[in-house]
Amino acid sequence: MEQTMISVTEIARTTPPEIASTRLLRLREVCRMVGFGKSTIYKYMNDSLRPFPKPLKIGVSSRWAEADIFSWVEMLRTLDEDERRAMPPPLPKSRD
């Protein structure tokens, strides 16, 4: 039986919000979902105007609520071009 690979972005696009709100994502999944590297995610968490969602700490692990990531992306879609340009640029992606 052949398995089909589905990207995190496709899952995010097709997951109903009521289910998405219950999923917790690892940093690697969040990076794939939004197309930024780890350093950029942490940089955007410190943005005072449009902060990226902070992770939930579970023991020593960090997990992001998928619904929070969706909300942040939706917020970006509401910004006009000048507001998006005012955001700090993404850092170059590392090879991790």
pLDDT digits (tens, 9 = 90+) for 6-54: 555 565 666 666 665 678 999 999 999 999 999 999 999 998 888 999 9
Across the chain, the runs of DSSP E, i.e. the strands, are 24-25, 56-58, 61-65
**Alpha-carbon distance values, 44 to 4, 6, 68, 74 (Å):** 33, 27, 14, 15
CA distance 87 to 17: 27
pTM for this entry: 0.68
For residue 82, pLDDT over 90 is answered with no
Residue bearing the bigger pLDDT, 65 or 79? 65
